[in-house]
Chains A and B, each alone.
Chain A
Amino acid sequence: MDEEANAGGLLSQFEQILESDPAIDEIGFVHPSQFVNLNEQARHSVPSSSGSVCNVLCSAEGNTMFWNRDHKLGISTEVLIPLYREAKHALMAANRTGIESEIMNHSRAALLISSDFGTAWHSRKIVLLKKHKLSTFLEELIFSVLVLSYAPKCEHAWSHRRWVIKSIAGKCSTLQEIVTKESELVEKIAERSKMNYRAWYHRCWLVSYMTTEQSLHELKRSRKWAGLHVADHSCFHYRRQLMLSILEDRCCKQENVSSSYSVKINQLWKEELDWDEMLIKRYIGREALWLHRRFLSLFWIKHFLTGHTGLPSHWKHKTSMNNDFGIFVDHELNLLQSCSIIPDNNFDDYQAQATYSATYMLWLIKQIPDSSGFEFREKLRTENLKALLNKACSEMSSTWDSLVAYAETSDHYAKES
């Protein structure tokens, strides 16, 4: 096939498909051999409720180039290179003439083939700034979802969304609604693109645009997802950001707040600790759950002992404080006990569970201030933890030596700095 001769029509054919079906919500690159299967499936399946038919566009040689059904567009991997080249040249030409509709059409085509083409994203931003219309900004949110459908980790697409939201914040009455929808989008994408750092970063970024009520709602809503994806550490980080923002909001905005608020935060933290423990016992050996516990305990301890979390100062003077602290420590020691049993058949998961529980204890030893930690250290000897670590994971003995030595030094950081 003569690529160059054919290429002249490729871009306009592609743009026509996009124009004729604005509801396309998913794009994928398909190897020619897979089209046979797709056509086979299409023949046998009942037409969908929308009554949509399968649109196939072939080259002069009869090879499938584009395949569109139920608003899912498949593009043959064979046409990607000529199509990209043509779209890029057309975009560069349009950038020179400055014709807005052409810039938008050609950049769209180029970005649906190569999502990391930064200059094409920029061309769109320039047009958006010139037009200065809320509806055009909102359309970008729809367009970039289409890019994310085939490139869920695309940094440019996520960053473009943030740029749009920053541009319309303050001018748009539905911002809270948009933030909620963004959060839902991340969850949807995270479902099929596991441990997607870019997507979760975007969700954490949204927190600063949320009201306290929204943060509380998000915390509640993301719990089920987190429980079903216990290995996705990013989701737990997102929950931590929500919790910290709730904590901060309460402290800054309500100086003379009634203690009922404080009780509510206390309860929130307690519930998270209980929930995390339940997950730890249900899903054996999951690192993300133990790391989440380190965070929860760190703030729990700070709030009991030093009040550095910024909670109302009268909290520090609670008479039951030491008692509560003792109960907390005993509870964590029990957890260690139940998680450090390695069955004889030596399953990896149980070894991991024992390892994480022991490093969690080292973390606690390090985090509990010296004055209160004495009793705790008495109950929990580091040499026992070291023995447990070496039993559970002898491969990493050099790491355990270092961590135990570090945990044994008190106020190490203070001395060094």
Chain B
Amino acid sequence: MVELAARKHVQFILSKAKEKNSYESVLMEHIRMNGHTGCQHDSGGFGGNIGHDPHILYTLSAVQVLALFNKVDVLDVEKVANYVAGLQNEDGSFSGDMWGEVDTRFSYIAICCLALLHHLDKINVEKAVDYILSCKNHDGGFGCTPGGESHAGQIFCCVGALAITGSLHRIDKDLLGWWLCERQVKSGGLNGRPEKLPDVCYSWWVLSSLIMIDRVHWIDKEKLVKFILDCQDIENGGISDRPDDACDAYHTYFGVAGLSLLEYPGVKPIDPAYALPVDVVNRIILGIKA
């Protein structure tokens, strides 16, 4: 089996950070966070870049990045937490911003963000959990809103939010585990929905969910490791969605994160609910110093 080309991947990510004039990086500038303080608005929320409106998505990204570097204290934590808490609706759901689109992804983001800031007390956690449970389908999976089709990305968000709030006992783990383990295809890779091709990013969304509900032994882990390693560009670094496709930062992150969950040697352990290194989560949530 090929090995993880760790050093190449580091170089690949560094080279991506330097590309500021490529077509992708200009048109994606709304999600290229740079200079944190410049991205924060009076509301307490963060925009994706200077001059862009605030959204709960970028607010979590800002908090996560600061958490990684142990710099959360540069924030006016109270203000950020108030912005996030202010997006909760009467039924317990969360809007992404002031324009009101509701999605269980925003529930996860709010809960994860507030947990990292030690401010879960600012929202109605019980209602937030009830809303997530109302998005459960007959197949055990979860969608964006009640009745939305099950999707591995949405499932990660719902299971992650339930894990952080200590509510996993309220779902049928076997039924959900069934749906999740059927995402593994013959090649060993995981897809995100029925009939779709496997994609490295689901090594995160599906795998982390299986771990959180303690059903990871329902899939073949060895074959998944092999699938992820086969998606590497050994020469130039980077990981792609499927073998022999073009690499990008997104799939490189999820490939490495997936290998971490699979306990691949030499990769730091990652927390399946917070999507942050375990030592960072221990430091912030449990107050344990490394």
Chain A residues at the B interface, C-beta cutoff of 8 Å:
77, 80-81, 84-85, 92, 113-114, 116-119, 122, 125, 159, 162-163, 166, 195, 197, 200-201, 204-205, 207, 231-234, 237, 241, 244, 286-288, 291, 294-295, 298-299, 359, 393, 395-396, 398-399, 402-403, 406, 412-413, 416-417
Contacts and interface: CB of A to CB of B under 8 A. Distances in A.
Interface residues of B, number: 47
- Identify the 9 closest CB pairs spanning chains A and B, nearest first: A402-B218, A237-B149, A233-B194, A119-B53, A159-B101, A114-B27, A231-B195, A287-B194, A119-B52
Contacts of B165: none
A195 B219 contact: no
A84 B29 CA distance: 11
Chain A interface, >50% SS class: helix
Contact of B148 (A114, A204, A288): A204
B174 A413 contact: yes
B149 A233 contact: yes
A372 B111 CA distance: 42
A417 B138 contact: no
A120 to B, nearest CB: 9
A117 B149 contact: no
Given A396-B220, A398-B218, A403 B26 contact: no
Given A163-B100, A233-B195, A402-B218, 19 more contacts: A80-B23, A81-B23, A81-B26, A118-B48, A119-B47, A159-B101, A195-B193, A195-B195, A197-B151, A232-B195, A233-B194, A288-B195, A291-B194, A298-B138, A393-B186, A398-B219, A399-B184, A402-B177, A417-B172
9 contacts: A118-B55, A119-B30, A195-B196, A201-B148, A395-B220, A396-B184, A396-B186, A403-B218, A416-B173
Contacts of A396: 184, 186, 220
B133 to A, nearest CB: 13
Contacts of A393: 186
B172 to A, nearest CB: 5
A291 B138 CA distance: 11
Given A118-B55, A396-B184, A84 B26 contact: yes
Given A234-B149, A298-B138, A413-B175, A399 B181 contact: yes
Nearest to A77: B23
Given A395-B186, A399-B184, A403-B178, A81 B21 contact: yes
A344 to B, nearest CB: 20
Contacts of A125: 99
A299 B138 CA distance: 10
B139 interface: yes
A84 B26 CA distance: 8
Interface of B: 21, 23, 26-28, 30-31, 47-48, 51-53, 55, 99-101, 138-139, 143-145, 147-149, 151, 169-170, 172-175, 177-178, 181-182, 184, 186, 193-196, 215, 217-220, 223
B195 A286 contact: yes
Contacts of A85: 26
Contacts of A233: 149, 193-195
Contacts of B181: 399, 402-403
Nearest to A416: B173
B45 to A, nearest CB: 12
A413 B172 contact: yes
A152 B70 CA distance: 40
Contacts of B26: 81, 84-85
A201 B144 contact: yes
Given A195-B193, A204-B149, A291 B101 contact: no
A163 B99 contact: yes
Contact of A417 (B100, B145, B169): B169
Contacts of A287: 194-195
B174 A412 contact: yes
Nearest to A158: B101
